[in-house]
A and B are shown apart, each in its own frame.
With several copies, the nearest count.
Chain A
Amino acid sequence: MPHFEISESPIDVARLRELLLGTGAGAYASFEGWVRDRNDGRAVQALTYESYRTLAEAEGAAILAEAHTRFDIQQAACVHRVGRLALGELAVWVGVSAAHRGPAFDACRWIIDEVKSRVPIWKHEHYAEGGQQWLHPSPQEDGR
């Protein structure tokens, strides 16, 4: 069952990982995006994520469903944090289980790429040197 969630509280990786466990799965790949202390050469002091929740949850669920059609996987899940995050906090988590490692890695990477390009979530950065901005990157400047 695809599981995509927008979360206002800290992401509980241990609990999510348990969701994907099963004796039939031989491989599990996961990705975590953490709040960095720098972005594009500027020191980041604080960071807020905002989402259009209804659409974000629908789009996230669609991405997970599509991952199941594209890759030979068993389970896939993704949680994205919103609200104000501290440096070093977990912003997004993706986990995929599969019989073999190839599809687990491929699907995990595809999901995070799609989430970053399609799901209506926006990052707002406050800089140590002063200033702040919403990030609205062009597709080619997503720093993958």
Chain B
Amino acid sequence: MSVTVLYFASLRDAAGVDSEVLDLPASLAGLYESLRARHGFALGREKLRVAVDGAFANWTDPVADGAEIAFIPPVSGG
């Protein structure tokens, strides 16, 4: 029972990897908080959005086995 986490931009620089496979977490919010502590992400969760399987999701959505999770820091395209 695992999930894949994708990192972009400053989160990827801080994590040092593009992605990692982790044990299925209890919640998306809890997952981000634990990864923030581990990798030292500067951005608080309130500044991010979360996406699951290529679509924006809510922080309170349940997490399924095999999900692909991405934390979306504030965007700066254009």
Interface positions of A (Cβ within 8 A of B): 33, 49-52, 54-55, 58-59, 80, 91-92, 112, 115-124, 133-139, 142
Contact A51 B77 (CB under 8 A): yes
Those of B40-75 within 8 Å (CB) of chain A: 43, 47, 51, 54-56, 70, 72-75
Q: Known A55-B55, A55-B56, A58-B55; judge A50-B9 contact (CB<8 A).
A: yes
> Chain A contacts of B73 at CB under 8 A?
122, 134, 136
B5 to chain A, nearest CB (A): 12
Instruction: Sort chain B's interface into a size bin.
Output: 10 to 19
> Chain B contacts of A91 at CB under 8 A?
77-78
Which of A52, A119, A121, A133 makes the CB contact (< 8 A) with B51? A52
Smallest Cβ-Cβ distance to A144: which chain B residue: B78
Which of A33, A58, A119, A133 makes the CB contact (< 8 A) with B75? A119
Contact A112 B78 (CB under 8 A): yes
Which of B47, B51, B56, B75 makes the CB contact (< 8 A) with A122? B75
Q: How far is the CA of A37 from the CA of B55 in the complex (A)?
A: 34
Q: How far is the CA of A49 from the CA of B78 in the complex (A)?
A: 9
Contact B43 A136 (CB under 8 A): yes
Smallest Cβ-Cβ distance to A60: which chain B residue: B77
Contact A120 B8 (CB under 8 A): yes
> Chain A contacts of B75 at CB under 8 A?
116-122, 136
> Chain B contacts of A112 at CB under 8 A?
78
Smallest Cβ-Cβ distance to B74: which chain A residue: A136
Contact B8 A122 (CB under 8 A): yes
> Chain A contacts of B8 at CB under 8 A?
50, 52, 120, 122
Any chain A CB within 8 A of the CB of B31? no
A47 to chain B, nearest CB (A): 11
Q: How far is the CA of A55 from the CA of B10 in the complex (A)?
A: 18
Chain A proximity mask over B4-21: 1 for CB below 8 Å, otherwise 0: 001011100100000000
